Chain A
């Protein structure tokens, strides 16, 4: 039985570990935080089925009986050793592994870097992740008790050269619509506005959400990117954008502004890539052998990828990739490649 180091205990790492265990291997999860499930553990509901995120994480965790998990641990160093890898952990443990799965995931764009939106400056500005946590029950003083209007700004730190990320983060459009509907359900009297550049609703049932948002919830969509946000004397946020379809500049006073922060490559990914001389792509994420057929494979033997470390992914894509990676690793270790 050979050990497999799984770096990152998010949903990708958990699912891969579960499958590798089933295939008779010995996966070891190295997790930098004190819990499994990564970003998803902090979320409320998952589109398109509005499944509880907590439930998914619990389900995945249930399959990890017998898997060693190191919490609050990072990879200190990693070297090729024989046909496998020697992985030194920050807690002093040294793992001899037949293969390594990198499932380090993503990091959320720090919305305060787009200062013109006033995150951290104005009182009533939150991010998609803040809102998700609040929906899940965490208190947030920035969210007013009974907002008359809520504005969602898409593409915060995505498709934005100035924010250092020219790529689309793919999931924020759908997240915004999901959260807009959730807010409307919580505050039926409120006007909900979505400011978008392009609506990219590509997945199964996503368009249904869009239609429902328009038809059943009366959510307003404005095609225009918000350029600046100020605060009026009452502490409401005032957004300035252009309604590009009507061709007129518009202003909106809102009680709450939700910024759809994009997904960036995790900082740790770069240093991990250097340790094993794996390639990093131009977008900062890990480079797969190709982006069509071998997304799980790196350019180094025995180093595999799963989930958002190679690019932005939805939850189902991540879970599916983790399963595929587990199979890839199994085949690699049994020599049937």
Chain B
């Protein structure tokens, strides 16, 4: 290997150089800004995590798996996984090998940014090193890999359905420029390296191509223009990158360490939220996932569009999108980079200005505490169980009735905290972004629960359960979901089930499944009480029933379409009946379902055979 030019420079590298300096400068500046925006404690936490060996290693591993190999995407969709990882990993290897070449053959040029990129232009091959052949082979191999990815990307643009995507985002003008320059980079590199292969050497791809070209191109006049074109394509791509969705490439590499450091969204637009917005690749996986997208009018209200509007600063649309969302969390579950769609929206809602703030000071909890305490104290030995059914359960009395019956059969004495009158758990206020009011309500409920002297808080509504576990401070009280509680009673032999011959399909309520991570216990219980079938979309990908309180603006007619869609998914299992574990899902499905819909407690109650004898 020997250098062709003593000065090691040619003007064609300038477009690349400008782009590179610009993008690096922009990203570094942006990173410092975001770090600056983080609250002090978060910043400390983040910087500390970077130097903690365990998290640092995890960061590297996660970045390698997610940003380069796209492991999560592979699991979801092989074609998309190959497309993305071939481009990302292939390109990464091209850069890495380029540096390796420079390092081995002309170490004095290591400090030059452009040298590894345009290595083949600047060196001439003297066919002396076998190592060179291996490197050249690898370079060609990875170039081919990237080109295959680019080819798939082009096909995907035209026929996204081949990749299992029903809908993708509409790229903006700048996105298109970025996209086309990205597509152009690698074919141009192939051309440039092929034209140069008789000078600099090459491998299985570039040498035959060089031979073909030389059959009809007699001279080397076309050599420099292709290198220019290659450099310009790179330059354009890097200059537009910060303003396109390709910003996700550098952003995701910073989002992963931030998430691993345990940061949370504190401000709707700044810091961690900003990092999430920038990390959104605009792939549009969330569009197909979103339960609202069954209607065309709602497609532009998916998380990918929220991120886009936040980047554009379109306040009106940001508000519309944030208020409409059901907060079912499915976009987050399927998101490849981990954008927290629901939390982003709640953060947007939380900064809204209201002239009236709820004031719960007038609520005197003393009578409620007394009533609960009087009954709790009557309970015999054993855990003192306080049952909180929640507001919604008043409209679905079958749940309360079944829970009462089951507890009676198991011989569990309990106090029904909100049988007559009770307060809301606070989650609806929280999701509406009225966080202070929610906290005030939480304090009121804490007074009642702690004042009652109970040791177990049994909760049947997953909406309440989520906030009880996440936001309440209840020392000495064990908060337990009814599914877990019944599972324990079964294990202890206090409940006995006999399998009925009805077959249920279990619908995972958003709040219990994605919200609290409880997927298996209800299935296990239903499996013991009756037959169980699975819908096509289940567990983390279960479809929201459409009744969610998360949405502030969706009206009744629009929700109906979503409910019917979710029901179709459940009907697909061919089960006789539908089982769920949330009062809101229950009443929403019951409104339209053509087959029975039962709550988990009802299913169990119907199959309980023996009563507990103390």
Interface residues of A (CB under 8 A from B): 113, 115-116, 118, 121-122, 161-164, 228-231
Contact = CB atoms under 8 A, between A and B. Distances in A.
B556 A113 contact: no
B593 to A, nearest CB: 9
A23 to B, nearest CB: 42
B591 A113 contact: yes
Interface string B486-530: 000000000000000000000000000000000000000000000
Contacts of A118: 397
Nearest to A117: B397
9 pairs of A and B residues whose beta carbons are closest in the complex = A116-B395, A121-B398, A121-B397, A118-B397, A228-B394, A115-B396, A121-B401, A228-B395, A115-B590
A164 B557 CA distance: 10
Nearest to B597: A115
Contacts, number: 33
B395 A230 contact: no
B263 to A, nearest CB: 42
Nearest to A230: B397
Contacts of A163: 591
Given A162-B591, A164-B591, A115 B397 contact: yes
Given A121-B401, A162-B591, A164-B591, A116 B396 contact: yes
B389 to A, nearest CB: 11
Interface string B577-609: 000000000010011100000000000000000
A121 B397 CA distance: 7
B509 to A, nearest CB: 17
Contacts of B397: 115-116, 118, 121-122, 228-231
Contacts of B401: 121-122, 231
Contacts of A231: 397, 401
Given A113-B591, A118-B397, A230-B419, 12 more contacts: A115-B396, A116-B396, A116-B397, A121-B397, A121-B398, A161-B556, A162-B556, A162-B591, A164-B592, A228-B395, A228-B397, A230-B397
21 contacts: A113-B590, A115-B397, A115-B587, A115-B590, A116-B394, A116-B395, A116-B396, A118-B397, A121-B397, A121-B398, A121-B401, A122-B397, A162-B556, A162-B591, A164-B592, A228-B394, A228-B395, A228-B397, A229-B397, A230-B394, A231-B401
B388 to A, nearest CB: 16
Contacts of A228: 394-395, 397
Interface of B: 394-398, 401, 419, 556, 587, 590-592
Taking chain A's interface residues, is the majority helix, strand, or loop, or is none over half, making it mixed?
A: mixed
Contacts of B590: 113, 115
A55 to B, nearest CB: 38
A115 B395 contact: yes
A164 B587 CA distance: 13
A199 to B, nearest CB: 26
Nearest to B560: A164
Contacts of B592: 164
A138 B370 CA distance: 47
Nearest to B419: A230
A162 B395 CA distance: 13
Contacts of A115: 395-398, 587, 590
B221 to A, nearest CB: 73
Contacts of A122: 397, 401
Contacts of A121: 397-398, 401
A229 B591 CA distance: 18
Contacts of A162: 556, 591
A217 to B, nearest CB: 31
Contacts of A230: 394, 397, 419
A230 B393 CA distance: 11
Contacts of A229: 397
A148 to B, nearest CB: 22
Nearest to B396: A115
Nearest to B592: A164
Of the listed residues B395, B397, B556, B590, the one surrounded by the most CB atoms of chain A closer than 10 A to its CB is B397
A163 B587 CA distance: 11
Of the listed residues A115, A164, A228, A231, the one surrounded by the most CB atoms of chain B closer than 10 A to its CB is A115
A233 to B, nearest CB: 10
Contacts of A116: 394-397
A118 B590 CA distance: 13
Nearest to B557: A161
Contacts of B394: 116, 228, 230
B343 to A, nearest CB: 30
A156 to B, nearest CB: 14
A159 to B, nearest CB: 15
A31 to B, nearest CB: 25
A79 B419 CA distance: 58
A242 to B, nearest CB: 15
A115 B596 CA distance: 12
Contacts of A113: 590-591
A231 B402 CA distance: 13
A121 B395 CA distance: 12
B235 to A, nearest CB: 59
A121 B396 CA distance: 10
A180 to B, nearest CB: 25
A317 B573 CA distance: 45
Nearest to B401: A121
Nearest to B596: A112
Nearest to A163: B591
